[in-house]
Amino acid sequence: MNSYDVRTVSGNSCFSSDVTLDSFLLLPAKLPFTDRLKAFLYNWEVKAVFSAGVPLSTTAQPAVPASVLDQEELKTKSGAEQIKICQSVYDNYCAYLSGLFTVTREYHPLDSKAIVKAAEKLCDFIIQNRRLFLHVKMLYDGSGTLEETHKMLVYHCMHSAVLAVLVGLEFALTRQHLVDLTVAAMVHEAGMFYLSNDTYKGEKKLPVEHRESIKHVSMSAKILASAQFSPPIVTAVLEHQERENGSGYPKQLTGEYISSFGKILGVICSYEALCTPRPSRLSISPHRAMVEILTGANRLYDPKVANVLLRVLSLYPIGTYVLLSDGRCGQVVEVNPRDPRNPIVSPVEPAGIFGAGPDRQKSAAKLIVPHETTVKIVRELSKEEFRRESKNFAKNL
């Protein structure tokens, strides 16, 4: 057992083994030895602590993503260019989160102040460009390598953060509450990096009874609490796997005992996880994921939150291929605030299927806005069905 002078232990460092004081556990291994803890020990005239391990060197925190274009300059760009810029902001924040999780994987503490600052900048940008952010894409292929799984968790947290802002705006949260919810979404999977590689990589689907033993949710909350994140952030992370009927974890709380942030983060993360491929399972389409969330309302999810997510994304989220009631096929291009179950669709004309040659030039198809037409969405189409149905429609012209 090694003795360490409290005054010489670097603030926010961590030890490779448990830290004890007079045979009592003071700090579990790999959790931050914070400046606050040092001050507490110093005030109580504790001069030394003990550990069988050694202090771990600190790892540099990733830089907060730089500001993007001025909003007025952004407005001068075309719609496609604006979406491309938003995608770039999204990708930069993914790189930032990847750096944060690298810090966590190496068992070093997070810088809560820097992360809150990053979340504030992200919130402000999304608030000004909320419609555009519905078009950003998550690029994860579901392969099972450790680095790809690291990337999957990064994209899961980042996409959850974007949805947290959009859903929070619908609930008219204050800016501070919006930032807290966004921070919780950004770092809610921090505890996953403390699991074994097999669990972390998700190569095996874990039975319900094993979830409590893993305690990655509790570990995430503990990591954030030790890094001095605010109580609402820690609580949201701790409760985001709880469910309305008490079937969740880690405490099997029922709806009346789950915080509002826990409910919101739970719905967002469940939806996003359904859409994300894992090594142990395939993803489902955003439309099917939305149906599952709505089906689980009251039983698993808060119905108010589920309906707000529906309003934000629509029943057929942007990018979904659909069959229309007039026999044409189309792709959802915008949400419809008037009727979230019937979004705005761009129908595909024959020229768009086979390529526009000299004898097949057509003007752009008029968007189908539900309240302006009797044409409705019949059902979702897979990519394969979309190609087949589009060709069948062209043949019948």
Task: Calculate what percentage of the chain has a pLDDT beyond 90.
Answer: 46
- When pLDDT is averaged across residues 242-248 and rounded to a whole number, the result is 95
Residues of the chain with CATH 1.10.3210.10: 71-313
Rounded CA gap, 88 and 96, in Å?
Answer: 12
pLDDT in the model for residue 2: 80
Rounded CA gap, 242 and 232, in Å?
Answer: 15
Burial string for 215-238 (b: 16+ CB within 10 Å, else e) reads bbbbbbbbbbbbbbbbebbbbbbb
Helix, strand or coil, per DSSP, at residue 18: coil
Cβ contact 228:183 at 8 Å: no
Would you tell me how many other CB atoms lie within 10 Å of the CB of residue 204?
Answer: 11
Question: Residue 223's closest CA among 391, 73, 8, 27?
Answer: 27
Highest mean pLDDT among 64-78, 211-225, 331-345: 331-345
Higher per-residue pLDDT: 395 or 79: 79
Dihedral over alpha carbons 223, 225, 229, 234 (to 10 degrees): 90
Rounded CA gap, 50 and 24, in Å?
Answer: 10
Task: Categorize the per-residue pLDDT at 109 as very low, low, confident or very high, splitting at 50, 70 and 90.
Answer: confident
For the chain, the residue count is: 397
Residues forming a β-bridge with 15 = 55
Question: Residue 15's closest CA among 50, 44, 55?
Answer: 55
Q: Identify the H or E element spanning 184.
A: helix 175-187
Rounded CA gap, 260 and 306, in Å?
Answer: 13
The two three-digit tokens of residue 274, written as one number = 């359904």
Cα–Cα distance list, 222 to 194, 218, 228, 233 (Å):
12, 6, 10, 11
One-letter amino acid at 172 equals A
In the chain, the DSSP E strands lie at 2-5, 14-15, 19-21, 24-27, 48-51, 55-56, 321-324, 329-334, 344-347, 377-381
- 58: DSSP letter: P
Residue 337 has φ and ψ, to the nearest 5°, of -55, -30
What tens digit of pLDDT does each residue of 189-216 get?
Answer: 988 876 655 554 554 555 554 554 457 8
Higher per-residue pLDDT: 79 or 168: 168
CATH number for the domain formed by residue range(s) 71-313: 1.10.3210.10
Q: Decide if pLDDT at 224 tops 80.
A: yes
- pTM, to two decimals: 0.80
Rounded CA gap, 354 and 362, in Å?
Answer: 12
- When pLDDT is averaged across residues 217-227 and rounded to a whole number, the result is 90
pLDDT in the model for residue 55: 74
Region class of 191: left (phi > 0), else alpha (psi between -120 and 50), else beta: alpha
Residue 183 has φ and ψ, to the nearest 5°, of -60, -45
What tens digit of pLDDT does each residue of 337-385 get?
Answer: 889 999 999 997 644 444 433 333 333 458 888 878 899 999 999 988 8
Higher per-residue pLDDT: 268 or 283: 268
* Diameter of the chain measured on Cα atoms: 89
3-state secondary structure 188-235: CCHHHHHCCHHHHHCCCCCCHHHHHHHCHHHHHHHHHHHCCCCHHHHH
Would you tell me how many other CB atoms lie within 10 Å of the CB of residue 68?
Answer: 16
Cβ contact 355:388 at 8 Å: no
Task: Categorize the per-residue pLDDT at 90 as very low, low, confident or very high, splitting at 50, 70 and 90.
Answer: very high
Question: Residue 305's closest CA among 295, 313, 297, 314?
Answer: 297
